[in-house]
Structure 1
Amino acid sequence: MNAMRRAVAALTATAALLLAGCSSGGPSEGPPEGGRSPAPREREASGIRGITLPAWNTDDYSRPEAAAYLRQIAATGAGWVTFTPTWYQDRATDPAMRVTDETAGDDSLRHIIGLAHEAGLKTMIKPHVDLVEGGDRAEIRPADPGAWFGAYTRFLTHYARLAADTGAEQFSVGTELAGTSRDGTRWREVVAAVRKVYRGPLTYAANYDEYRRIPFWDALDVIGIDAYWPLGDRATTDAGRLREAWKPITDELAAFSARHHRKILFTEAGYVSQRGTTTAPYSWTVSEKAATDEQAAAYEALLAALDGKEWWAGVCWWMWDDWPDTGETAKRLAYTPHGKPAEKVLRKWWGK
C-alpha cells in the first residue's frame, strides 16, 4: 500500500506466536539445496492477529509516539505488528533500489522491534520497494533483471540479518512486485540467500490479483496475500452481505492452499473509512465522504468470513495511525481503525 499512498500523494499534491502462534516449533534449519522448502511443519503460521505500522521517514520508528502506538496496537488484542522499511527506485526500469530520506533508519527499526517485544508483540519485517515519484510497485520491470535481482538480494539480506539480530519472528521476501514475481528461478535464489541469514518463517506478500501467478510458493513457508478484493459495486454497511461476498473468494483460497500445502496469511487487508470503501479496498481516495460505519462493517465481514478456516493463517491489517505531520489522508478518511468503530470490531474479535 505504500506505492498506492505515494501515488495518491502525487495526484493530490501534484504477520507460533501469540495466543496461536506463527510457528509450532520455532525457526528451523534451512531448506534443501536450491532454495526449496519442504512442507513447513515447523514453520507453519496460524492465528496471526496483526496490524501494520508503516514508516514514511528516516526517524519515524524512533519517534516518541512509537511506544504509545505499540501499546495501542496491543490493546486491540493484536499479537503481531508489521514494520515496512522501504527503498526506492527513480524509474520502473532501474537496475537497483536505494535508500532515501523516507527509508526507516536501521537504528530506528531495531529500536521499535525492541519496543514491540517489550509490549508483548511479535514482529514481521516486510521490506518494500517503491517508486520515488509514486505509482504502483507492480510496474517495476527492470531493463537488466540480473542487475536488479542482485541489488534486490543485497537489499533483502540486509534486512534479513537485521531480523535475525533483533529476533523478529517472521520475514517477508517481497511485496506486490508483480512485474518480477513470475521469474521463479531468480526468486528462488533470493529466498535461498535469505535463508542463509534468517531461520524464521518466510512469506511473500502477493497482491490479490497476483498470487495465482507466483511460481515459488513451495520455497516459502506461508502464502502471503494482500487481500484487497472488491466486495461489491456499491457502498454498504451490511456486514452480512459483505460476508457473502467473501464466500467465493474463500472457497478459491481454500483450494489454493490445499494445492500448495501452505496456509494463507493476509499480509495486508484494510479499508479506508470512506463511502464505498469495499468497492475498491486498495484505494486511498474512494470518496471525500467519511463512512466509519462502512469500514467497521468491512472489518466485521472479513473476520466473520475467515474465522475458523483451517487454511487461514491470520491477518495483518493495513494500517495503524500515520505519524504526526506525515499523513497525506485525513485520519477521519484514512485506513487506520484507531478511535473508530472498526477498532471496537477488532477488540470484539480479538478478545479485549
Structure 2
Amino acid sequence: MEFIKGFTFKLNPSKTQKLGGEETKESLKTLVETSGCETIILAFGALQDTPHSEEIDFAGPHIPTDEELLEVIAYARKLGLKIILKPMLNCRNGVWRAHINFFDLEVPCEPKWSKWFANYEKYILKYAQIAANTKCEMFMVGCELVQTERKEEYWRELVAKVRDIYHGPITYNTDKYQEGEVKWWDCVDVISSSGYYPQTQWKENLDRIEKVVKKYNKPFFFAECGCMCVKGCQEVPNDWSFEGEVDLNIQADYYKTMFETVNERSWVQGYGIWDWCSNYKEDLPEDRGYSVFNKPSAKVIKDFYVTK
C-alpha cells in the first residue's frame, strides 16, 4: 500500500453553501495547497435519533445529495487527489457513536441488533456502490462504532456484501485503544484507527498497535488523528470538549512530535488528519478546535507530506 498523505475533508451541509458548489471546491483546493495532502477522506454522516434507535436516516438535509457527492469527487479528481470514502454515523441527541448498543440477546419489544444492522447495511451498501462507480481508492465500512464491534458475525457479513459491490481495498476505522479488540481484522484489507494519543504516550501505544498489525499481517494507517489548540489538550487530544487557554502552537507541537515518533515505525502507512471542513472559512484562525486553517500546524503537516 502506498503511504497515505491524507486529510479528512468533512462535507458539512450548510444553509448558505451548496455542497459541490464553488465554495466547497475553493475549500478543497485551499486544503491541498495548505497541507500538501495527496489523499482526501471524504467524510459525511447519517443520523439515528439515539444510541438505541434502529432507524438510520441517510436521506435528509444533514447529508450530501448523491449529485453533490459526485461533484466533489469529480473535482477532487481534477486536483489529482486519491479518494477514500467514509460514510459515518452520528446520533441526533449528541451521544457519541461509540455508544450505539443493544442487548446481545434479542428481546421482544426492545430495539434489536438484527434490525439495526439491516438498516446500517442499506446505508453502507449505497455508498459502496458510489465508491465503486467513482473508483475510489479505498472504502471505509464504519467509524468508531465501538459497541458494535463485538458483533463479529454481522460485520463479516457486511464486509462480504460490500465486496460484491466494491472491489478496492476495504478498511474499518476503530477508535483509539481499540485496535486489539476487533476480532475480524482478517476480513478487511487495511487496519485503521483514530490515533488521538497523548503526546507523551505515542511510543507505548505504537508498541501495542504493532502487535495487532503483525498478528493480522495487514497494512495499517491512522484514519484520524489530531489535536485542538488548547493548552493541556495535547495529553487528551480526543476530548473535543476540553476547556483551557487557546494556544495555536500546542497543535503544531503535537503534530511535530507525532510525525517524528510515528515515522520511526515503517508499518504505519499514513494519516487521515482530522479535519478540514467544506465550509472552512467558518474555522477562524483563533479557533480552539482541530482545524489547521491559518495555523502554524499547517506548515508542519505540509513540510512532512512534501518530504515523505
- Answer whether TM exceeds 0.5 for this pair: yes
Residue 81 of structure 2, aligned match among 100, 117, 121: 121
Q: What CA distance in whole angstroms lies between the structure 1 residues aligned with 2:254 and 2:240?
A: 15
The corresponding residue for 2:171 is 203
1:308 CA displacement? 4.7
Q: What CA distance in whole angstroms lies between the structure 2 residues aligned with 1:308 and 1:221?
A: 23
Residue type of the partner of 1:103? I
Task: State the number of aligned residues.
Answer: 295
- Residues 9-88 of structure 1: pairs in structure 2 closer than 5 A: 45-57=1-13, 61-75=19-33, 76-88=35-47
1:140 CA displacement? 0.7
Q: Cα deviations across residues 34-88 of structure 1 (Å, max 9, x unaligned)?
A: xxxxxxxxxxx34101011112317653132222222222222211001112111
Q: What CA distance in whole angstroms lies between the structure 1 residues aligned with 2:37 and 2:132?
A: 22
Q: Is the 8 A contact 2:20 2:71 kept in 1?
A: yes
Residue 54 of structure 2, aligned match among 95, 113, 121: 95
The corresponding residue for 2:96 is 136
What percent of counterpart residues are identical?
Answer: 26
Q: Cα deviations across residues 153-176 of structure 1 (Å, max 9, x unaligned)?
A: 111010000011112111100001
Q: What CA distance in whole angstroms lies between the structure 2 residues aligned with 1:88 and 1:312?
A: 31
Answering whether residue 68 of structure 2 is matched by residue 108 of structure 1, we say yes
What SS does structure 2 have at the residue aligned with 1:84?
strand
Q: Cα deviations across residues 198-228 of structure 1 (Å, max 9, x unaligned)?
A: 0111110000132221111000011110111
Q: What CA distance in whole angstroms lies between the structure 2 residues aligned with 1:334 and 1:130?
A: 19
The corresponding residue for 2:243 is 287
Q: Is the 8 A contact 2:51 2:95 kept in 1?
A: no
Q: What CA distance in whole angstroms lies between the structure 1 residues aligned with 2:285 and 2:52?
A: 33
The structure richer in strand per residue is 2
Structure 1: where are the runs of 5+ without partners? Answer: 1-44, 232-241
Shifted more, 172-181 versus 89-98: the winner is: 89-98
The corresponding residue for 1:340 is 295
The corresponding residue for 1:275 is 231
Do the aligned partners of residues 77 and 97 (structure 1) sit closer, same or farther apart at CA in structure 2, a change above 3 Å counting? same
Structure 2: where are the runs of 5+ without partners? Answer: 103-110
Q: What CA distance in whole angstroms lies between the structure 2 residues aligned with 1:324 and 1:263?
A: 31
Shifted more, 60-69 versus 309-318: the winner is: 60-69
1:262 CA displacement? 0.9
Q: Which runs of 4+ in 1 moved over 6 A?
A: none
TM-score (norm 2): 0.90
The corresponding residue for 2:185 is 217
1:339 CA displacement? 1.2
